[in-house]
């Protein structure tokens, strides 16, 4: 039994500094060293030894646990060395786990060390350990969530303040919610990595992140937000994974219209949420801060304490912290999915336009739930909103293509509707 758990940290950015501050409350945990990119940068925490070489951390025989909060995939080789040196890993790196998790977990199993990553999915929301413990009796069929605080903040402000996407992005950047290059958030990459990790845990299969359909929020307009509100919906960027009767997995990230009667529609600003459906529990919803210095540090330190607890008791790791999956899921393409749709259409104010839309839908077996004309604009164009019943993505795309081949009809936006 060790008196102190010795920690090495890779990354002293916002989260890394938060981890140092939280760990200062624990006398039985010692931060031995930290690796950073910029040795001269001023930080509001102190670590006894700082290096700019992560290899100094992962090869240090004094260190028991490597905490990686630097992000990116370039740290992979260093973490592999850490595992080979019998060091446990605690990480918040969703991209690394989504893209290289299989390799890392296989190596960890061979070397009998743990890789814990509660902070990688939803910041301060405890979700991974509850799925593995309290909800372990369940057979899950569906997991979905608002997994990116930046996009949720932007969409919330577009709704509440009737601002454009561009204006809300600028506001998010000014407040520090969005990076100077926001691509990872607004184009859905961040949420894609997180749903890959969640699907792996929930369905017990490895996920090929390259096969996940991904669509961001840059095409969402303030008019879409307003019309959705009038129809009883809100628009959110949703990452979801479901198991079909065939055993295939449907995993994707894209904006969706969410009924205001659905609790998840009330999750606003930078808050995250994860919804699970299974038997026997039915539906459960986890809501909380998805990012930030202390929420994320809370999850990181929670993982560290889990390792510390096992060290103190047995010197061995919890079996649940190892990955036993070896089979990759059969993931379907977006064209094979079934969805309801919202269509925003602009058309000439001509007789028979509504009939053409109805005929195109009928040709491809698409039933209309509602069709509304929202008046005539100054160019004598009619704004038409269509909500469909469930149909295949492939048929919907064919119908949209047919409509756009008609003179004076243009589909401005197509957004899926959550059921």
Contact by Cβ (8 Å): 90, 68: yes
User: Does residue 260 carry a catalytic annotation?
Assistant: no
By the 8 A CB rule, do 369 and 401 touch? no
Encoded tokens for 354: 């509504």
Give me the DSSP letters along 166-209: HHHHHHHHHTTSS-SS-HHHHTSHHHHHHHHHHHHHHHSSB--G
Nearest to 12 by CA among 293, 267, 350: 293
Strand partners, 376: 382
**DSSP 3-state percent helix, strand, coil across the chain (nearest 5):** 40, 30, 35
Q: Nearest Cα to 410, choosing from 336, 363, 368, 353?
A: 353
Cβ atoms 94, 121 nearer than 8 A: yes
Token pair listed for 414: 């197509």
91, 61 contact by CB (below 8 A): no
Contact 249, 329 (CB under 8 A): yes
Burial string for 104-133 (b: 16+ CB within 10 Å, else e) reads: bbebbbeeebbbbbbbbbbbbbbbbbbbee
How many CB atoms lie under 10 A from the CB of residue 39?
Answer: 9
Q: Which of 87, 194, 205, 308 is catalytic?
A: 194
**Burial state string for 218-230 with b = 16 or more CB within 10 A and e = fewer than 16:** bebebbbbebbee
Distance of CA 247 to the CA centre of its chain: 23
Please give the structure tokens belonging to residue 88: 């446990």
Catalytic residues: 194
């Amino acid at each position: 039994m060790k008196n102190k758990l010795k920690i090495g940290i890779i990354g002293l950015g916002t989260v890394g500094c938060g981890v140092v501050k939280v760990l200062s409350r624990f006398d039985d945990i010692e931060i031995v060293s930290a690796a950073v990119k910029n040795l001269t940068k001023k930080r509001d925490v102190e670590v006894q030894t700082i290096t700019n070489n992560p290899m100094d951390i992962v090869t240090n025989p004094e260190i028991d646990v490597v905490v990686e909060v630097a992000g990116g995939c370039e740290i992979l080789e260093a973490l592999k060395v850490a595992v080979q040196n019998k060091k446990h890993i605690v990480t918040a790196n969703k991209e690394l786990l989504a893209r290289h998790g299989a390799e890392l977990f296989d190596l960890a199993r061979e070397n009998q060390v743990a890789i814990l990553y509660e902070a990688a999915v939803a910041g301060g929301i405890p979700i991974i350990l509850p799925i593995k413990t309290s909800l372990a009796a369940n057979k899950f069929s569906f997991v979905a969530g608002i997994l990116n605080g930046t996009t949720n903040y932007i969409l919330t402000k577009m709704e509440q303040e009737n601002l454009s996407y561009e204006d809300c992005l600028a506001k998010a950047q000014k407040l520090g919610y969005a990076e100077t290059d926001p691509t990872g958030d607004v184009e859905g990459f961040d949420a894609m990595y997180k749903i890959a990790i969640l699907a792996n845990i929930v369905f017990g299969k490895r996920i090929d992140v390259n096969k996940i359909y991904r669509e961001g929020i840059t095409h969402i307009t303030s008019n879409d937000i307003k019309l959705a509100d009038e129809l009883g919906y809100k628009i959110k960027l949703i990452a979801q994974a479901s198991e079909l009767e065939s055993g295939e997995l449907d995993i994707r990230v894209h904006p969706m219209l969410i009924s205001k009667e659905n609790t998840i529609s009330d999750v606003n600003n930078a808050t995250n949420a994860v919804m699970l459906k299974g038997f026997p529990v039915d539906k459960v919803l986890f809501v909380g801060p998805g990012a930030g210095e202390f929420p994320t540090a809370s999850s990181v330190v929670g993982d560290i304490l889990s390792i510390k607890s096992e060290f103190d008791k047995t010197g061995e790791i919890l079996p649940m912290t190892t990955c036993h999956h070896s089979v990759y899921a059969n993931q379907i393409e977006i064209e094979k999915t079934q969805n309801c749709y919202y269509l925003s259409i602009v058309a000439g104010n001509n007789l028979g336009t509504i009939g053409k839309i109805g005929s195109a839908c009928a040709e491809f077996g698409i039933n209309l739930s509602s069709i509304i004309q929202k008046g005539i604009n100054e160019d004598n164009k009619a704004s038409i909103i269509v909500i469909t019943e469930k149909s295949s993505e492939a048929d919907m795309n064919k119908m949209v293509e047919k409509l756009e081949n008609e003179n004076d009809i243009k589909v401005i936006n197509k957004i899926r509707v959550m059921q």
